[in-house]
Amino acid sequence: MNKNYKIYIAGHKGMVGSAIWRALESKGYTNLIGQTSKELDLRNQQHVQAFFQSEKPDVVIDAAARVGGILANNNFPYTFLMENMLIQNNLIQTALDTDVKKFVFLGSSCIYPKLAPQPLQEECLLTSSLEPTNEWYAIAKISGVKACESIRKQFNKDFVSLMPTNLYGSNDNFDLQTSHVLPAMIRKFHEAKNNNNQPVTLWGSGIPMREFLHVDDMADAVVFALENQLDEHLYNIGTGIDLTIRELAELIQKIVGHQGEIVWDSSKPDGTPRKLMDVSKMKNIGWSATISLEEGIKATYQWFLENEHSFKEVKI
């Protein structure tokens, strides 16, 4: 990778995009460009085309998406399906039209079937049905993976898809209506601690198992993908280690210092029973995660404390 290549990071202000920006800067890449959603509406094909024609990026990293947890996916299925397809289709098609040298598409482990054999291998894609609570987002991301794969096949272009497991870290979303499980837990335990260690109610049984990857590790994997020629179109990005949601809650409770009770609301959905990624393909070509879960949660909680003033008050 030429350090002078112009690299466009779509979604550069989000948790993943900002981490990729930091990682590239630390490696000496200085010709980075980004536009906020107010500056460039990625759902608008004409606006995306005009931006590419003006800026002429050499490399594109698609870290832009409409994201959210079970609640948001259930409440806004059409929004999650259509907006994500519009965003990625505009970026992929315009990158192809303008002869971009490398395109990195970022998705999610939710693209894999709900009951696929564990750990999840790239080959299990489309082998059975998806988890209903996030299938809208998953279908959009699957279409992006297939678009990049078909471009490799038809045009021999360097388009690659990276599928991370559950991500967390600096610049995460701590809004309890739309956040994912780990940042939501951090906020709930913190607010409860500050309210005389009130009980914390969490969704589900606590039995499902999940894998978590710090966003700085994800960014490092993206840089690795840029700096190396990847022979396949799809790679899982994760730690290869999981734990139960109950164990996660107890770890976060310990780090935050909450002394109260944890109440599990089993009337709420658990989601997929287990989502452990097989990360052997990336490991075999030289990349592995390095940040432990406890280390990562401590750093994320510290970031939360430093930015707590910017979050709306939560009613426990």
Q: Would you say residue 234 lies in a domain?
A: yes
Write out the residue range of the structural domain in which residue 150 sits: 7-172+212-241+275-290
pLDDT of residue 316: 37
pLDDT in tens, 65-113: 987 767 777 888 999 999 999 999 999 999 999 999 999 999 999 899 9
User: Is residue 130 pLDDT above 50, yes or no?
Assistant: yes
Q: Would you say residue 186 lies in a domain?
A: no
pLDDT in tens, 194-222: 999 999 999 999 999 999 999 999 999 99
User: Is residue 314 pLDDT above 50, yes or no?
Assistant: no
Tell me the C-alpha distance between 91 and 96, whole Å: 9
Q: Would you say residue 258 lies in a domain?
A: no
User: Is residue 315 pLDDT above 50, yes or no?
Assistant: no
For the chain, what is the domain count? 1
Pick the catalytic residue: 29, 112, 137, 235? 137
Q: Would you say residue 177 lies in a domain?
A: no
pLDDT of residue 67: 78
Please give the structure tokens belonging to residue 235. Answer: 């790679």
pLDDT in tens, 267-291: 998 877 888 999 999 999 999 999 9
Q: Would you say residue 109 lies in a domain?
A: yes
pLDDT in tens, 136-160: 999 999 999 999 999 999 999 999 9
Q: What is the average pLDDT score of the chain?
A: 94
Mean pLDDT (whole number) for 249-253: 98
Contacts of residue 193, defined as CB under 8 A and 6 or more positions apart, other chains included, come to 256, 257, 258, 259, 260
Q: Is the pTM of this model over 0.85?
A: yes
Is 8 a catalytic site residue? no
Per the annotation, does 228 bind a ligand? no
Per the annotation, does 309 bind a ligand? no
Q: Would you say residue 27 lies in a domain?
A: yes
Per the annotation, does 16 bind a ligand? yes
Q: Would you say residue 73 lies in a domain?
A: yes
The residue among 230 and 180 whose pLDDT is bigger is: 230
Per the annotation, does 107 bind a ligand? yes
pLDDT in tens, 220-247: 999 999 999 999 999 999 999 999 999 9
User: Is residue 177 pLDDT above 80, yes or no?
Assistant: no
Percent of the chain with pLDDT over 90: 85
Q: Would you say residue 257 lies in a domain?
A: no
pLDDT of residue 214: 98
CATH number at residue 120: 3.40.50.720
Tell me the C-alpha distance between 135 and 303, whole Å: 31
